[in-house]
Amino acid sequence: MEMTEMNKGILFIISGPAGSGKGTVVRELISSHSDIKLSVSATTRSPRPGEENGVHYHFITKDEFERRIKNGEILEYTTYCENYYGTPLKEVNEALERGNDIILEIEVDGAMQVKKKIENSVTIMLTPPDSVTLENRLRSRGTETDEVIKWRLERAKEEIRLLPDYDYSVINEDGMSDKCAEQIYGIICAEHKRTLHTRDIIKKFI
Ligand code: 5GP
């Protein structure tokens, strides 16, 4: 079958600060829509308990990460807490060519790099409803010192300031991650109806 704009997938980038609940929302979205793929990033950080290589991340060494950057195998990357995080180019291209939509769950730096490199990619920022909820969420993890929480809170506010650079924003209210996932699915459906992706319809009439 000839590949047309109609059956190519679209790349969606979902970013959100710590406390936005993006991990839960993205998992929800993927589990209820199996044709949407989630890109598995490469990272040099160590796996956390329960994380599997190739599922949550491709866990690789710093040398290997730098080799992949040099070889042009990484679409975008950033350093976060002294570790590299990056998106493998091949996986993204393959999903799009197969006609699958693909989601990158990445931080703001990487999001802006991809937006510039991949034409028609769509950026979505997920935010908590307000700063009180944000702080409550960061504190409720109970694993971090006051100083770290303060740092994360400041960083979260800096990231949210970049909201106007995104195409869409969605608010993730407490206990409403399923509703939030469906709102993102609504954006995905709407993007497919843009005439940019549907213009082949004309061929059926002329
Ligand atoms: P964590 O260590 O908590 O899994 O991730 C830390 C941060 O890195 C999160 O904000 C996450 O969205 C971001 N991240 C994960 N993978 C990538 C990636 O491939 N590229 C970029 N730019 N950020 C990533």
Q: How many angstroms is it from 86 CA to the middle of ligand 1? A: 8
**Which pair of structure tokens corresponds to residue 43?**
């990272």
CA distance 169 to 123: 8
- Which residues, in sequence order, are bridge partners of residue 86? 42, 77
For residue 111, the ligand 1 atom closest to its alpha carbon is 22
Q: How far apart are CA 181 and CA 183, in angstroms?
A: 5
Q: Which pLDDT does position 141 carry in this prediction? A: 76
Q: How far is the CA of 146 from the centre of ligand 1 (A)?
A: 22
CA 151 / ligand 1 centre spacing (Å): 17
CA gap 157, 160 in Å, rounded: 5
Q: Which atom of ligand 1 is nearest to the CA of 109?
A: 22
Which CATH superfamily groups domain 11-39+100-204? P-loop containing nucleotide triphosphate hydrolases (3.40.50.300)
Residues with CB under 6 A from ligand 1: 41, 45, 76-78, 80, 85-87, 105-107, 109-110
If you measure from the C-alpha of residue 129 to the centroid of ligand 1, how many angstroms do you get, rounded to a whole number? 22
> What pTM was computed for the model?
0.92
Question: What does the pLDDT profile of the chain (206 residues) look like in tens digits?
Answer: 333 445 689 999 999 998 899 999 999 999 999 999 999 999 999 998 999 999 999 999 999 999 999 999 999 999 988 899 999 999 999 999 999 999 999 999 999 999 999 989 999 999 999 999 999 999 987 777 888 889 889 989 999 999 999 999 999 999 999 999 999 999 999 999 999 999 999 999 99
Integer Cα distance of 196 and 177 in angstroms: 30
